[in-house]
Structure 1
Amino acid sequence: MKNYIQAEEWNIIEEGFDPHLNKISESLFSLGNGRMGQRANFEESYSGDTLQGNYVAGVYYPDKTRVGWWKNGYPEYFAKVLNAANWMGLSIKLDNEELDLNLCKVTDFRRQLNMKEGYLERSFTAELKSGKQVMVTAKRFFSIANDEVAALHYQFKTLNCSGKLSVSSFIDGDVKNQDSNYDEKFWDEVSRTQNESGSYLTMRTKKTEFEVITGVKTLVFKNNDQLQVTADPAVKDKYLAELVSVDIAEGELIDIYKIATNLSSQNLAPAELTEKAAEILNAAILKGFSALLEEQTAAWATKWEEGDIIIEGDIAAQQAIRFNIFQLNQTYTGKDARLNIGPKGFTGEKYGGSTYWDTEAYCIPFYLSTAPQEVSRNLLIYRYKHLEKAIENAQKLGFDKGAALYPMVTMNGEECHNEWEITFEEIHRNGAIAFAIFNYVRYTGDQVYLQEYGLEVLIGIARFWKQRVNWSDARQQYVMLGVTGPNEYENNVNNNWYTNTLAAWCLRYAAEAAAIVKKEDPARYAEIVKKTSLQEEEEFGAWKSVAENIYLPYDEEKGIFLQQDGFLDKEQTLVSELPVSQRPINQKWSWDRILRSCFIKQADVLQGMYFFEDNYDLESLRRNFDFYESRTVHESSLSPCVHSILAAKLNDGEKAYEFYLRTARLDLDDYNNDTEDGLHITSMAGTWMSIVEGFAGMRVRNGKLSFTPFLPEEWNSFSFNIGFRGVQLKVKVKKEEITIVNPAKELMDINIFSQLYNIPEGETVIAYKGLTV
């Protein structure tokens, strides 16, 4: 665990430069705006250890699968979100000596991510090998007010010398992905243009043929006087540069502004890219850096008004939750239903940057409560648009009659994950998508979504589960063989409790949803029946039979659900008995040893009990929690938040808080020693869930919000806003009390501490634990 980030409520701050921590910081200080983003690489040249990363949402390459041996059903490729052209590059030389922090003596280094206003600022003093000292301050941001624009201000000052300063401002499209399977570069150059409006480099992806234009306008000032910038006459593939050379005296200031745009053929015809890029750049230049930053500040103020969580009395926890909320809002804005949330967002390349089940299981709740309804709706429409591909994915594995298997990893709906135990076996992802539809409808009341999109998806998923089980004569029940649950430290197991439970629920919910649509919109229902060739009586009957007769492993003696068949055959060692030197086990143990151990990456059973908590009493939850928590190593970033929520439900405040801090500061403190690869964006939504669903105990039951809050001992209070069915409620929790403000022009019925409160429009209610009304 690292501990070098300073605790501050609105800022992520690094003081001092340690090259060994640089790649971690590049992840932590990343920026994005939902359309594009960038790791916190230095603007000037850096020859040290770095992961250069610039990313454009939705643009990908089908990198050929690399496996030791081929099996039928393997995806042909693993989709990669591409490292795109670097727009911010500056080569700075003082008397032909390059500014490179890997080759300089660096002092007064400070890096600050201002989360309140959405920008990254960096400053340092560097002594070159010649003894010349310079001071730099740089500020940059990706605009969420205009997601086609990014901007940079780089200020350079000499401290003890004069000389000839040369600045090359460049766009570098000659980049590659760190995770390229065959060390291949994925881009070809299409065109380059330089004129008074700026520099424009257009690149095209191989195979998928996305075209992306990167346009940059560079302005340079000496002591506020603008200098002439000229095109670099040197010809270099996939590269464009502008030059300025000027004499600089001791103490003089050079200000460099770069305004950039990235546009892709996803949204524009290739022939329109250059003209549109010039139009956007010209408009941004007319506004200027300061006005663009003011727009950015205002846009972020709106985001924080909708989704901030305020914690009093614990700065580390306050910083952590804001960091997680900030990164979620940088990654996905919900403006485009073709886009989704990669596990690393715009902060790295691991996992291919593609869409996983994390979106439905973890991110949907966050966006439901903190963003307009269409944001979470678009996340679900994304899956609807991929339904035909999901049916094709199932067909490749031998399923038929409209059965749909959604991919574990995807960009366009087609499965592109190349590890057999996940591609073929981690099929619980299907259930997470169905649960997200249920969760969305439950939260918003938007039954129309079922009619327009949801029911078709549920039918395809139900058909898959029906075909995936088989009847066991020995058990006289349906069983499901050869699966991998969320706990990926168990592969190819039989009767995973979570997967079987989820399958049974999906089958029931698909039939319930069909009944709802049939009642609410008979004409639309008839269309769906025809489109899907639904055999109502036959299929509904079969679904019901499987749901009622599926085998769910259970141990009578311990009173627990068994993670899968044979789990108790393993040697039952507790995590508390594991030496610290052996952790994380995924970095210290062989895979064979992990698979034979009882240690759990992420508790399957507890994930299921979290989803369907109303089906289990507290004592059953407690027995299962105590058993599985003591065997869970939490080496999945998705694990601690579910444990935190369940611990809160069990009134175990100490554990709830412990798991909250672990998930909240997972990246800030580099708990799993992997932050340098990029941030764990999707698990960040779990941090929000830990507070709102855990500490505040927020649930939706029978169309109404309910709260059963408690306050961690370390906090004085916490407060947040919740958007619910068009109303923005203000909630504040203190010790054994909760305050809710209803600003709506209508009466709100809310359950608090198991009592129903009727809150009139514009009124405030304060409820106390143990007080009956």
Structure 2
Amino acid sequence: MKNYIKVDEWKIIEEGFDPHLNKISESIFSLGNGRMGQRANFEETYTGESLQGNYVAGVYYPDKTRVGWWKNGYPEYFAKVLNAANWIETGIRIGEEILDLNSCTVREFRRVLHMKEGYLERSFVAELSGGKQLKVLSKRFCSIVDDETGAISYSLTPMNFSAGIKITPAVNGDVKNQDSNYDEKFWDEVHKEADDHLGIVLMRTKKTGFEVCTGMKFSISSDRGEPEYQIRPLTGEKYAASEVTVHVSEGETITVCKYAANLSSENYPSEVLVSECKKTLDRIYSKGFDKMLQEQAAAWELKWQESDIVIEGDAAAQQGIRFNIFQLNQTYTGEDARLNIGPKGFTGEKYGGSTYWDTEAYCVPFYLATAPPEVTRNLLIYRYKHLEKAIENAAKLGFKNGAALYPMVTMNGEECHNEWEITFEEIHRNGAIAYAIWNYIRYTGDKDYLAAYGLEVLVGIARFWSQRVNWSEEKHKYVMLGVTGPNEYENNVNNNWYTNTIASWCMDYAVEALEYVKRASPERYEELISKMAFDESEEIPAWRHITANMYFPESAEYGVFLQQDGFLDKEQVLVKDLDQADRPLNQKWSWDRILRSVFIKQADVLQGLYFFEDRYDEATIRRNFDFYEPRTVHESSLSPCVHSILAAKLGDEKRAYDFYLRTSRLDLDDYNNDTEDGLHITSMAGTWMSVVEGFAGMRVKNDALHFRPFLPGQWTSFSFNILFRESILNVKINRDSVVLSNQSKKNVTVYVFGNAFEVAGGKEVFAEYGKYQV
């Protein structure tokens, strides 16, 4: 764990330059706008350790899977969001010396992510050869107003010398992914051009044929009047730039304002990409940097009004939650149903930038409560559009009759994960897709979604589960063999409790959905029955028989659900007895040793208790929590949030708070020693859940919001907005009361510890809950 980020409620601050921390900071200070993004690489040359990363949403490459053996059904490739053209590059040469923070002495270094306004600022003094001191100030952002663009203001001030300085604003497309399996470069050049203040590079991906036009346009100014300079256009392989030579006097500040655009063939015909890129550049250039930054701040103000969580009395906790919300809003806006949420967003290349079950299990609750319903609906439609591919994926593994297996990792609906124990066995991801449909309908009341899209997905998933189980003559039950549950420190196990549980639930919910659509939309029902070739007289009874006779491993001795068959055969060592030198296990132990150990990577049984808590009494949840949490190493970013929510439900304030702090500051403090690979974007939604579902105890029951809040001892209060069924509700939790402010016109009924409070439109209700709390 590292503690070099300064605590500030609205800013992420790094003071002093440590090259050993640079890749971590490149992740932490990343920028994005839902359409494009970049790591916090330096604009000027940097020859030290770095992961250069610029990314364009929806553009990927099917990198050949690198394995020494092959199995039937094994994915042929691992899809990757591509490292795209570097538009921030701005080379600086003073005389014959290149400005490079890896070779000069760096003083007064400060990097600040202004989360409230949505921009990154960096300043430093570089001491060059001969004692020359150069002061640099840069500001940049990816615009959420013009979401295909970004802008940089880069200022240079010679503090104790005068000199000719060469400034080279560039677009450099000669890049490759750090995780390229065979060190292959994934882009071919299509077109490039450079003019005095303009650079354009158009590239096409190999195999997939995506085209991206990256352009830049720039201006140069001085605080001492209009500067005189010479300019020379430059081109090279996938490269377009302008070299500007300007004489700068001691104390004079020269500023380069650089405007950039990334336009993709996903949104424009290929033949107009260059012309449209130039038009976009002209438009933002005419606005100017200051106006663009003002628009950025105004747009971010609206986002914060929708999604901010205000914590009083705990600056570290406040900084953590805002950082997570900021990154979530940078990553996904919900405006394009073709896009989804990669585990690293625009902050790194690990996991390929592809879609995982994280979206449905962790991100959906955040977007349901902080954005219009269309945003979450688009996430669900993304999966609906991939249904045929999910059926193909299942068919490759031998499943029939329209059975659908959604991929563990995908860009286009096709499975592209490159580990067999995940591809073939971590099939619980199918359940998360169905759960998200149920969660969306429960929250929004949009039952029409079932007839329009949801039913087909639910039937495909239920068909898969019904074929994946088999009847055990010994147990006289249906069993599920050879699976990997959410705990990926166990592979190829039998009867993972969570997988069996969610499989049964999926089949039951599919029957419920079929019956609803049949009643509510009989014509559509007949249309869908025909389209799916669904035989209700055979399939529904079969599903019901399976769910009524599913095997669920339990321990009578401990009174808990067993994670899987044979779990108690393992040596029952607790995490507290581990040598800290062995942590994290995934970086210190062999995989064989991990698999034979009792240690759990993330919530497994507890994931099921979180999803289906209404099925179990508090005593059951407590026994399982107290059994499994001490065996959990939390080496998945998705783990602390579930534990925090369950601890809060159980009234375990200390563990609820500790897990919240861990999940909210996972990347800021580099808990798992992996932030340099990119931020854990999808788990950041779990941080929001820890506050709203954990400390506030928010649930949706019978079409109404319910709260069972408590206030962590370190906090004075906390508050947040909830968008629910056309109402916007501000909820402020104090020590013994809740203030409910209805910020919309529609009346809403809210329950606090089971007691109903009617909150009229535009009114505020004070709900004293201390006397109800048990």
User: TM-score range, shorter-chain basis?
Assistant: over 0.9
Equivalent positions of 1:94-173 (< 5 A) are: 94-173=94-173
What SS does structure 2 have at the residue aligned with 1:130? helix
- Quickly say closer, same or farther: Cα 1:150–1:226, change in 2 above 3 A: farther
Query: 1:91 offset after TM fit, Å?
Result: 1.0
> How far apart, in 1, do the equivalents of 2:82 and 2:564 lie?
38
Aligned to 1:225: 226
Aligned to 1:545: 545
Amino acid at match of 2:654: E
TM-score (norm 1): 0.99
Native 8 Å contact 2:727 2:748 kept in 1: no
> How far apart, in 2, do the equivalents of 1:427 and 1:90 lie?
47
Q: 2:298 aligned with 1:307, yes or no?
A: no
Q: 2:358 aligned with 1:358, yes or no?
A: yes
Q: 2:255 aligned with 1:255, yes or no?
A: yes
- Quickly say closer, same or farther: Cα 1:131–1:196, change in 2 above 3 A: closer
Aligned to 2:384: 384
Amino acid at match of 1:305: Q
Amino acid at match of 1:615: R
> How far apart, in 1, do the equivalents of 2:559 and 2:772 lie?
34
Amino acid at match of 1:120: L
- Quickly say closer, same or farther: Cα 1:196–1:756, change in 2 above 3 A: same
Equivalent positions of 1:446-525 (< 5 A) are: 446-525=446-525
Amino acid at match of 1:711: L
Query: 1:116 offset after TM fit, Å?
Result: 0.2
What SS does structure 2 have at the residue aligned with 1:8? coil
Amino acid at match of 1:225: E
Q: 2:701 aligned with 1:706, yes or no?
A: no
Q: Deviations over 1:37-58 (max 9, x none)?
A: 0000000000100000000001
> How far apart, in 2, do the equivalents of 1:410 and 1:493 lie?
24
> How far apart, in 2, do the equivalents of 1:667 and 1:689 lie?
17
Native 8 Å contact 1:363 1:685 kept in 2: yes
Q: Deviations over 1:638-673 (max 9, x none)?
A: 000000000000000000000000100000000000
> How far apart, in 2, do the equivalents of 1:440 and 1:39 lie?
32
Query: 1:622 offset after TM fit, Å?
Result: 0.4
Native 8 Å contact 2:387 2:457 kept in 1: yes
What SS does structure 2 have at the residue aligned with 1:164? strand
Amino acid at match of 1:339: L
Native 8 Å contact 2:143 2:296 kept in 1: yes
Aligned to 1:601: 601
Query: 1:769 offset after TM fit, Å?
Result: 2.4
Query: 1:198 offset after TM fit, Å?
Result: 2.4
> How far apart, in 1, do the equivalents of 2:394 and 2:403 lie?
6
Aligned to 2:83: 83
Native 8 Å contact 1:203 1:212 kept in 2: yes
Native 8 Å contact 1:428 1:499 kept in 2: yes
TM-score (norm 2): 0.99
> How far apart, in 2, do the equivalents of 1:315 and 1:284 lie?
37
Amino acid at match of 1:450: L
Query: 1:260 offset after TM fit, Å?
Result: 0.3
> How far apart, in 2, do the equivalents of 1:174 and 1:466 lie?
49
Native 8 Å contact 1:332 1:340 kept in 2: yes
> How far apart, in 1, do the equivalents of 2:770 and 2:111 lie?
48
Amino acid at match of 1:683: S
> How far apart, in 1, do the equivalents of 2:474 and 2:429 lie?
28
Aligned to 2:417: 417
> How far apart, in 1, do the equivalents of 2:35 and 2:655 lie?
38
Native 8 Å contact 2:478 2:551 kept in 1: yes
> How far apart, in 2, do the equivalents of 1:631 and 1:509 lie?
32
Please say which of residues 548-557 and 694-703 is displaced more in the overlay: 548-557
> How far apart, in 2, do the equivalents of 1:521 and 1:277 lie?
47
Aligned to 2:244: 244
Aligned to 1:665: 665
Quote the sequence identity (%). Answer: 67
Native 8 Å contact 1:118 1:141 kept in 2: yes
> How far apart, in 2, do the equivalents of 1:280 and 1:472 lie?
64
Q: Deviations over 1:177-222 (max 9, x none)?
A: 0000000000000001234672211000000010000010011123
Q: 2:163 aligned with 1:177, yes or no?
A: no
Native 8 Å contact 2:468 2:480 kept in 1: yes
> How far apart, in 2, do the equivalents of 1:39 and 1:547 lie?
47
Amino acid at match of 2:29: F
Q: Deviations over 1:365-424 (max 9, x none)?
A: 000001111111100000000000000000000001000000000000000001000000
> How far apart, in 2, do the equivalents of 1:746 and 1:132 lie?
65
- Quickly say closer, same or farther: Cα 1:410–1:231, change in 2 above 3 A: farther
Q: Give 5+ residue unaligned stretches, structure 2.
A: none
> How far apart, in 2, do the equivalents of 1:193 and 1:49 lie?
31
Q: Deviations over 1:155-176 (max 9, x none)?
A: 0000111111111111110000
> How far apart, in 1, do the equivalents of 2:84 and 2:230 lie?
25
Native 8 Å contact 1:197 1:282 kept in 2: no
Query: 1:297 offset after TM fit, Å?
Result: 0.5
Native 8 Å contact 1:229 1:242 kept in 2: no
Aligned residues: 772
